[in-house]
Structure 1
Amino acid sequence: MAAFADSGIYLSFGRKPQGNREPLLWPVLVHRVLYPDPKRAQLNIFQRAVLGLVRAHVVRDEEMVALTGLHLDLIKLILAQGVGNGWLVDSADALTEKGERLLDDEDISESDMKTGYLFQDALTGRFWPRLVARLQQIEPLDPMARFPEFNLNRKTGKSTKPFSLAPLRSALPPLDPESLMRAYKDYRDDYRAHQQLGYSSELAEEVRIQGVQRLDDVAQPASVLVWAVADTVGAELWSIKDPFELRETAWWLQESLAVQLERDANLLSRLASLIGESKPEQHNYGQWRDAVRKQVEIQVMIEYPWVDRQPDIQRHLSALLVRRKRLEDGDIEPSELDAALVECQKLLEVVMQWLIRSYPADIGQLPKQRRPDFSLNEKLLSALEVPAFTKPIIGVLARQNLDQVIRACSKPKSSLKALLFAAAMGTLAVPGHPLRKLNSDDLRLDRLIELADLRNKSSHAQSEFTGTVIPQITKRKVLDSIQYALDLTSCFKEWM
C-alpha cells in the first residue's frame, strides 16, 4: 500500500489546447517498470525446436529431420544461425550459456532492460491507461510556493497557475502485474487507434511490454498538468484533454472529475466560466448538472416522445439540445460553435446508421469498381428512384468512393455523405423504405450536404496560408443547423 505525499515534482506531456481551458494539477503516483527490450533476440518455433534437440543431444541432421519434419536445408540454416548468434558452439553440437538462457527465457541483463513509467491516480487509486518511456518535468517559478506557478511559454513570459487537486489521504492499492497489464491493454488500444488516424508521426515513443521483469517497490508522488475544457464530445459539462494526446479526451478521468466537482466548490467555480455560466449559489455540481439534464429530458419527453424507442438517437438528440441551450444562453465561443456542428453531424450520422441497420442493403447487387467511376455511381443513384435524390444531390453523392459505401452497408462507420449513399441502397429490396416515402421538401438533403461540407471545412486549420476562404461560423448558422438536424430526425419518427 502507498500514500501520496507532495514531492514538488510536476510533469507535463501534451501541448496547451486551443480555446478556453483551465489548467489542473492532477496528483499521481509514478511507478517505474522494467521490461525486456523488444529488440532483443527472440526464438521462433523452428529455432526453438532445433535448439531444444541440440540440448537433448540430438545433433545428427537426419534425426532432426525425422523428429521435426523440417527440411534439411532449413535445419542447416538454423544451426548456422545458432553458431553465428552465439547460441551454439562452433561445432553446433551443444548450446552456449547464451543459448541456454535464451531457450529457458531466463532473466536478461540490466543492459537489455528498458524503463517505462505508469501513473496511478491519487484520487481514486486506479491506474491510468498510459505508459511513457520518459518523464517530462516542469519547474515552478517558486518551488516554495503553496500554489505553484509555471512559465509554459518562454516567448511570451506569461505564467500559468493551475488549480491543484487534493489527493486522497488514505493508502492506495499496490501495483500488481494484473493491474499493469490491464492498463497496458487500454494504452495499446488507444495507441493503435491514434496510429490508424494517420498521425503516427506525432506520437511519442510507444512502450511495448512483452513481459514485466521488475516493479519498483516505492512509487514516486508527482502531479501531472492536465487541461479541463467544455465537453465537446459527450453529454457532460466538462472533460479533461488527454495529456498524452492519444485521444481527444482523457476518458478514464471523466468519472474522477465529476467526483472532485462534487467535493470541491472552488473547483466548480474555477471551471464554470468554460461553459459561460457562473456557479449557482444554492446548488452543488451534481444538482447543477442534474438540473440541466432534467430540463433536456422534459423537453425530449414533450417534443420527441417517439425517440425513446431508439436509445442511441435519443442520446445524440439530447446532447444536441444541450448544445442549443448553451448557445441560446450566450456561449458563442468558436469552440462551442464547432462542438455544436459536430453534434449536428453525429445525430445525422446515427440516423443514417439506424436506416442502414433497419433496412440492410444486398451488397451482392452492387458492382465492383477497380477505380472510382462517378458516372456509374450517378446511374446507380438515379436507378434507385429515391424522391429526395434530386439531380444536384445525386451529383454530390456520386463522388463518393463506392467501395467505402459498400463497407458502410455492413459496418456503418463512414462520412455522412457515404452513410446517406449506403442508407439509400437499402431501398432496393424494401418498397416501403422511409426514403421512398419522404420527398425532397421533407428531407431537404441540400442542407445535409451543406452541413457536412461546413463541418469538414471548419475542422481544418484556418489561416491565410491555405489560399481558401473558410465560411464564418456564426451563432445563427449553427442554430439553423441544429434545427435542421432535429427536423430531419423527426421525419423518420413513424418508422422508429
Structure 2
Amino acid sequence: MATSAADWSRARVLSYDRREPGDGRLCLLWPAWAYRVTAPVLKHRGLDLFERVVLGLCQAGVRRPDRMGALIELDARLCAHILDRAVGAGHLNERHELTDQGRQALRTGSTAESPEWQVCHIFEDPFSGELWPRTTDSLREAHVLRYHGEGVELQLGTVGKSDRASARRVRPPDRPPQRPNAARVVAAASEDRDARRVFKVRQYERRSGLDPVAAPEGLVGSRGPGGIPENLPELNRIAFLNDPEPVYLVGFLEVSGDADTETAEAWTAYDPFGLGPSDFFQSLVYRFGRDDGTLDEEIQVRAAAELAAASARYIQADQGLRDLLEERLAHDFGPEIRGDRDAFDLMLELDVAVESTNRDESMERIVHTALRLYEVLFRRMMVAYPVNDGTFRTFKNSPTLRRAMLENAAQSVGFHGVTRLYSGVRDRELDDSYRKPEEGFLKAMFPLTLLAAKEYADHPLRPMAVEQPDLPLTLTVLNPLRNRGAHAGRDATNPHDAQWCRDAAACAVRALLRLPHPRTERTSL
C-alpha cells in the first residue's frame, strides 16, 4: 500500500541520541520512512592461534598435516582437523590453497560467521531515497511537551540531567516511499554494526586519553562493489513486515565559530542514533535541509554569534599572552627595549609565533621576523657606519676579488668565515643598498656592513662577532628556512629550530639596542 505525504502530519518523533544537554546546538526533526524488516547480523570472530599458524603455513606452501605437525610440534591429526575446518569455512580449497576469503581472514585476523537474523527497523531518507546506515530494535519515541507551528518542544536528556529544546521540523518532499532492495538492507545492517563497534573504540580512547587512530580492519567488515558486504547471506530471507511508517528523527547540528559561516564546515551534524558526528546526516542537511531559507538563516545567525564569541575569547587570550610576553622581553633585554619600536614590535611578533600551536605557519613567521630584525639592524649600521666609497667600488667592480675581500674582512672582525651567498650578490642590489641603505636588501647589506666593520674600530659588528662567530652562516641558514622544501639541514617544524631562530633574533635585538635607531621603512609582516 502506498503511503501518502499527508501521513506526515501524524508522524511520530523518535529520539535515540542520549548526549548531555548543550546550549550550542540546533535541534532538527528530520523526516524518514521507517521499515520493520528481518535483517542479518553479520558476525565476525577472531582466528585462534592454531588457525592463523595453519593458514600461514598453507600460504607458505606447507599443506600436508604431517609436515605441519613436525614444524610446529603438533599432532598431525590435530593439524588435519584444523585444515578440514578451514576448508569448511571457505578459507582453503580442496588442495589446501588459500582462497580470497582465507587471505582476507589471515590479513585481518578475523572471519565471518554464519549470520544471525533479527527483526529491526531501517530508515529511508525521503529526499535522496538512500537508507540511513543504521538499524534499531524499536521505534523509541521522544518526550514531546508541545507542538507549535515550526516544530515541537522536547524534553531531552535523562531523568537526572534533562533539558528542553525546541526542534525545528524539516518538511519532507511530496513523494511516496521507494522500498529498498534486499542488498541495501544488508549493507545498512552491516554499516550499523561496523559504526557501533568503531564508536565503542572511540569511547574507550577518549576515556583512556588515547589519540584516535584509524579503525582497524578487524573492526570493519569487508565491502564489495558499491559498499555491499562480501559473503552476502540469503537475500530471499529478508522480509518487510509492514508498510513504511513516516517518522521524524531528532538530530542535532552544532554550530561552530571556527569556520566561515557560509560553508558546510561552519557546523557539524550529529548522528540521530547517538554515534557522534555523522557525514551522512551532514550531507543530507547540506543538500536538502538548507533549501529551507529559515533554517539556513538560523545556521548563519548562530555561526555568526559563535564566531563573535570565539573572536572575543581569542582577542582576550591573545592580549593576555602579549602582556606576558612583553614582560618577558623587558626582563630579557631591559626596559629600554620598549623605546625601540622596531626591536620591540618585531621581537614580540616572533615570540607570539613561537607560542603558536600551528607549527607550519608559525615557523614561517618566526623566520621571516628574525630576518626582518637583521634587516633593520644592518640598515641602521649602514647609515651610522657607511662603507668607504673606494672599497665599495672595488668590491662591486671586481667579482673575482669579492670572496677574498669578504674573507679578509671576516678574519679582521672575528667571524669564522663567510659563505658564497654574499659574494654572488647582483650589482643592482649592491647599488640600491649602498645608495639607499634605509631600503637595502639583507643579502647585499651584510657584505657591505662587513667591509665597513674592517674600517671602523668601534663598529658594532665587532662585538657581535664575539657573541656570534658563525653569524654569516646563521643568516645563510635562516633564509631558506622560510621555504620548508628548500633546506636540508634543519626542519622547520622542529620546536628546537624555533628556539634556535629566537636565539638568533635575540642577538640582533641586543645589537639594535646598542645602536642609534633612525626611522626605517618597515615592511608589513
Structure-1-length-normalised TM-score? 0.39
Higher strand fraction: Structure 1 or Structure 2? Answer: 2
Query: Between Structure 1 and Structure 2, whose CA radius of gyration is higher?
Result: 2
Structure-2-length-normalised TM-score? 0.37
